[in-house]
Structure 1
């Protein structure tokens, strides 16, 4: 069985379309898993959510940005850990189609997926057991650690799945010990180059194989849209999340 994993689309519809096309062209992926932060940073909120929710072969979990925007829409407390992006989240929330609110509300935070005699575990990022049901205003996701095997083994020390897939931290993570593959394919929508990252995972009786994908796309119109739409903090976003690419 082959599954695709993507994460941290961050409101970039052009990048998402490029990845979905590559996955569809392969004609062998049975299910797509999206590991949170579908929205915020990029302005294509409704286009991204429409692309994702319109597919019947795709399963999503929620991320911190999704939940923070949803909290604003519902009049709930915004996380103190995201106070520096509250204005940006309010801008995203104001423009999000209300039809997506109940759909986002239903998303789980974690998934355990059995395949053959193996188990895949998906989460946006690690959460301590006592925080797994906490509201986003309580900042339930753990502090980001540097990507290396020792840090990930310590972070997910209480889990024993064959593959742990996650996102949140935008660089690629691909590490393995005798028991577990730790996989974050990297942010799909935030990159210093016009590429969109994802992974295809093959699960067979004799093991798990990971193929890392980089879908090229034209990001000029997407980058230009930040200034055109006057996205709050757009100059900082281009610099911090898109490598200050010139358009």
Structure 2
């Protein structure tokens, strides 16, 4: 019997997008588990709504992203890696975070390894040589670079996010997959992927773009006076609120 998972990444505090993706996943009765590749919060301002949607479900597993870690560092009185406006934004997110969610956030690991229908998977937010430091983003990766980076890695499927675009690299023994960002796009769509592992270890992938209405979410940046809102609206959402 085949086993089907959904892979989501980079929700970034966008509950408006997350609701539509979860609705579509729920309508597919064949999805048996969801893996979330980090950056649950930060950038978007719907922090508590996102965490409530995610943590209320038993069928979702998580890995930690850099924004998640920076916000936890602030909560713990430590210096985050973020700087300037981004750090101010993270302080704002931390100050509005429901403290009931903090223990759950702290328990999220940097990596997950799972056997899915006999196939070994590795889930992580982005490539790293050593926890908890993520490597700089490679904006134009190749299969050769990924093979070298994961030389010796036993997992047949490596799922990562962080870079907000879709990646699908495959050779004769490994698959490298980035489902794209669920919560950040210059279009009113939310991305995710599904992976189906068959009885004979055959792997099928599908990518989805789910339409949603971002109007209220985007307009609330100004209403709430979210720090770094001009940078965020331009760079993460393509100033859709002005179109």
Assess same fold via TM > 0.5.
Answer: yes
Determine which of 69, 72, 75 is the counterpart of 2:77. 75
Q: After the TM superposition, which residues 1-247 of structure 1 pair with which residues of structure 2 at under 5 Å, given as runs?
A: 1-79=3-81, 82-84=82-84, 85-128=86-129, 131-132=130-131, 134=132, 140-145=133-138, 146-206=140-200, 207-247=202-242
- Contact 2:41-2:68 at 8 Å conserved across structures: yes
Q: CA RMSD in A?
A: 1.1
- Contact 1:160-1:180 at 8 Å conserved across structures: no
Q: Cα offset for 1:126?
A: 1.1
- Contact 2:219-2:241 at 8 Å conserved across structures: no
Q: Secondary structure at the residue paired with 2:197?
A: strand
| Structure 2 gap ranges (5+) | none
Provide runs of 4+ in structure 1 moved above 3 Å. none
Determine the C-alpha separation between the residues in 2 that align with 1:108 and 1:201: 22
Count of paired positions:
237
| Structure 1 gap ranges (5+) | 135-139
- Contact 1:148-1:173 at 8 Å conserved across structures: no
Q: TM-score, normalised by structure 2?
A: 0.94
Q: TM-score, normalised by structure 1?
A: 0.93
- Contact 1:174-1:183 at 8 Å conserved across structures: yes
Q: Cα offset for 1:14?
A: 0.5
Q: Cα offset for 1:205?
A: 2.6
Map Cα deviations across residues 196-227 of structure 1 (whole Å, 9 max, x no partner). 00001101133111010111111111111111
